[in-house]
Amino acid sequence: MYKALVEKDSSFEGVFYAGIKTTGVFCRPTCTARKPNPENVIYFTSVNEAIEEGFRACKICNPLEMNGAAPGWIKELLKKIEDLPEERLKDENLKKLGFEPNRVRRWFKKNYNTTFISYLRTIRLGSAINKIGNGESVTQTAYTNGYESLSGFTEALKNLTGKSPGKSSATKIFSIEKIQTPLGTMYAGLIDEGLAMLEFEDRRMLQTQIKRITKSHNAVPVIQKHKLFDEVEKQLTKYFGGTLAEFSIPLILTGTEFQKRVWNELMKIPYGETICYEELAVRIGNANAMRAVASANGHNSIAIIIPCHRVIGKDGNLRGYGGKVWRKKRLLELEKNLG
C-alpha cells in the first residue's frame, strides 16, 4: 500500500486511507502532499477508523469529501442539462460541446450508479411532469421534451410514475442532489416548497427513506436541482463554518403525528446542548415512550437541521446515529466549541 501511496495510484481510491503519524492527519491514496517514511504511516479501511484513532482529515486531499465531488467539467455539463432538459445529448453532441463521451459515461456510472442516458431520461421526464402539472397539454409536452412519438412518451412516463400522462399532473417531483460537506457527501431531497430529506450518502436506510417519502407524497425521485437547493447548501456551509446555529429552510416532515411531535421537539434543543432520550420523552408529554422516541429519532430523514444528534444516552454515551456515530461525535464537538 505504501507503493500505491507514493505513486498516488487512483485505483486504490476508497480501498484505504493513510494515517500520517508525524502530522496526525489521514489522506487519500492520491494525496499530493509530501510523502512520509513508511514507518510513519498507518493504514485504515475507512474514514471512520481513522477518525476513531484520532487522525484529522488532510486539507490537501479532503478525504471526508466523497469521490463523487463534481469536477469543473461535470458541473459545466450538468448546468447545460439543467438549462435544456429536453435536449438529446448523443456522443456527437457531447464531442461538439467539448466532452469526451466515455469519460462522461464513466463518471455518471461511478457517482450516480446509473448510465448517462438514464440520467438524461429522468431529467427529461421530470421536466415533462412539471409542464403537465402546470397545465401544458400531454401532446405539446411530449414533443417539446424531445420525444419522437406520443406513444413513446406515454410509455416512458408510465414506466417512471406508474400512471398515464393524464394522471401524472398530480405527481410531484422529488428533486435529489448531492451536497459536499466536511463530514462527507449528503443527499438533499426537495418536494414543492420544502426540504424533505437530508441524509449522508452512506446512511444504511437511505433508499428506504427515499421510498417512504416518495410514496407518502405521490412523488417521483429525479436527480435534478431544485430552486431551494442553493439555499440548503449555503446554510449547511455556514453551519459547518461555525457561523450559523439555526436553519431557516422550510421543511416537509414525512411521518406519523407522533414522529412529527418528536421531530418538532428536537428542533427546540438549543445549539451546543444535548438531552437524553428519557428527557425527550418527558418533553413530548409521555415519560413512558422512551423506546418510541428513540425509534422516531432513528426515522428522522432531515439530518442536522432536525438535530437528532443532540440526543444521547442518560449515561453520556452517544448511542446510535443513522449518519454513523463518528459523525454524531464530530457534530457535537463542532457545536460545543462554537456554541
Spatial separation of the C-alpha atoms in residues 1 and 29, rounded to whole Å: 8
CA distance 320 to 256: 21
CA–CA gap between residue 19 and residue 31 (Å, rounded): 12
Which run of H or E residues covers position 172?
strand 172-181
CA distance 205 to 71: 28
Catalytic residues: 308
What gap in Å lies between CA 88 and CA 326, rounded to an integer? Answer: 43
Half-sphere exposure (Cβ direction) of 87: Cα atoms closer than 13 Å: 14
Query: Taking each helix axis from N to C terminus, what angle separates 101-112 and 116-133, rounded to the nearest 10 degrees?
Result: 70
Cα–Cα dist 335/272, whole Å = 5
| Pairing status of strand 17-20 against strand 41-44 | antiparallel
Q: Please count the CA atoms within 13 angstroms of the CA of 123 that sit on its side-chain side.
A: 25
